[in-house]
Chain A
């Protein structure tokens, strides 16, 4: 057997292992579904999330890091598209709940704004670049076989423990807007949607310009 054949053999093996894994994952899904459909949903949405991230090489770290590091904005533009589409989808869902008089879902993701946002964002940004992966990227790469990201995960866990114990302090000090800002409360539903999409569009154009500038 020459090297090429060995390689092909390896491919076939991995593919077969993948099919076995798929069958096992679906069996777990059926078990969870019988237990409670919502639990099966969390399971399957996680699998889909990981699958999409791996297959499309979608990386939030690269999106925020590469414009300055390599000048490439391809991933950045991908993330901007995701932000725009999710904004439209979420706003449609939220508006539907609003006009039908139901509780708007996901409003606990409207976080307070304060020094915790600034410091948290900055050190998260530093951490993800030096570790080469954020929370989702790290989980995805563990699945791809990167042992190093098990170390990142351990560090993440210890950092979380420290942060949890300081959370009370951060939420009582230097908190500027305690209840957060839901943009439609400020600009109206349509106004907020237009403003946000315009900002995303502007960033998209900036990303294209930035990459063109690098090529010159």
Chain B
């Protein structure tokens, strides 16, 4: 491949896709995932799984509690990648995004800007972790997959996500910007 061809090839990976393109591709991915794995996309069950494992390893929490969570979250009991396939997929999300960013020359190591940003990230993460574990899912599992599955819970979760986002937006304007 000469220099010119190489440049053309590179340019092909550069432009962003439209939101609608993203929507179409994500929907196709959802449907294929439902057929192949018999489950829609989800992310946070992997976090629950490892939180449980760590808790068991550290030795607090009762053993039958593990069974309750397993049952409530709908885990399949099955080497680490075999045990929790959602973890493997989550790792794939990180590396797929890295691949996309590299091919478009958009990868930048971004430093943490301030203590304030650090606090916001930690607190935001904490709230999301708690929220997703009691409502059994995040924007993907409970909202996107929930509504796609025609579950009323997806709509209720989505409505309150919106309420939360309104409150979060107010907090953002008041304390962070």
**B40 pairs with A90, CB closer than 8 A:** yes
Which residues between 128 and 158 of chain A lie within 8 Å of chain B, taking CB atoms? 128-132, 134-149, 151-158
For the complex, would chain B's binding face be called helix, strand, loop or mixed by DSSP majority? Answer: helix
Closest Cβ of chain A: how far from B116's Cβ, in Å?
A: 11
Closest to A192 in B: B150
With most chain A CB atoms within 10 A of its CB, the pick from B18, B37, B100, B141 is B100
Closest Cβ of chain B: how far from A90's Cβ, in Å?
A: 5
- How far, in angstroms, from A109 to B52 measured CA to CA in the complex? 21
- How far, in angstroms, from A3 to B73 measured CA to CA in the complex? 53
Which residues between 138 and 157 of chain B lie within 8 Å of chain A, taking CB atoms? 138-154, 156-157
- How far, in angstroms, from A160 to B50 measured CA to CA in the complex? 9
Query: Which residues of the other chain, A, contact B152 by a CB distance below 8 angstroms?
Result: 113, 177, 180-183
Indicate whether A130 sits within 8 Å of B98 (C-beta atoms), given known contacts A123-B131, A161-B55, A168-B68: no
Selected contact of B131 from candidates A18, A39, A121, CB within 8 Å: A121
Selected contact of B97 from candidates A112, A144, A182, CB within 8 Å: A144
- How far, in angstroms, from A165 to B81 measured CA to CA in the complex? 25
Query: Which residues of the other chain, A, contact B16 by a CB distance below 8 angstroms?
Result: 55-57
**B37 pairs with A42, CB closer than 8 A:** yes
Query: Which residues of the other chain, A, contact B139 by a CB distance below 8 angstroms?
Result: 60-61, 124, 128, 134-137
Closest to A177 in B: B152
**B121 pairs with A50, CB closer than 8 A:** no
- How far, in angstroms, from A48 to B94 measured CA to CA in the complex? 10
Indicate whether A111 sits within 8 Å of B97 (C-beta atoms), given known contacts A117-B153, A125-B165: no
- How far, in angstroms, from A58 to B39 measured CA to CA in the complex? 22
Query: Which residues of the other chain, A, contact B96 by a CB distance below 8 angstroms?
Result: 46-54, 143
Query: Which residues of the other chain, A, contact B44 by a CB distance below 8 angstroms?
Result: 135, 160
Selected contact of A56 from candidates B22, B93, B173, CB within 8 Å: B22
For the complex of A and B, 9 pairs with smallest distance between CB atoms: A125-B164, A46-B92, A159-B129, A155-B125, A131-B124, A120-B135, A50-B96, A56-B22, A129-B168
**What would 16 A/B residue contacts be, using CB atoms closer than 8 Å?**
A39-B88, A46-B96, A48-B29, A52-B17, A54-B96, A91-B150, A122-B131, A126-B124, A126-B167, A135-B132, A135-B140, A139-B94, A145-B110, A163-B131, A181-B151, A182-B150
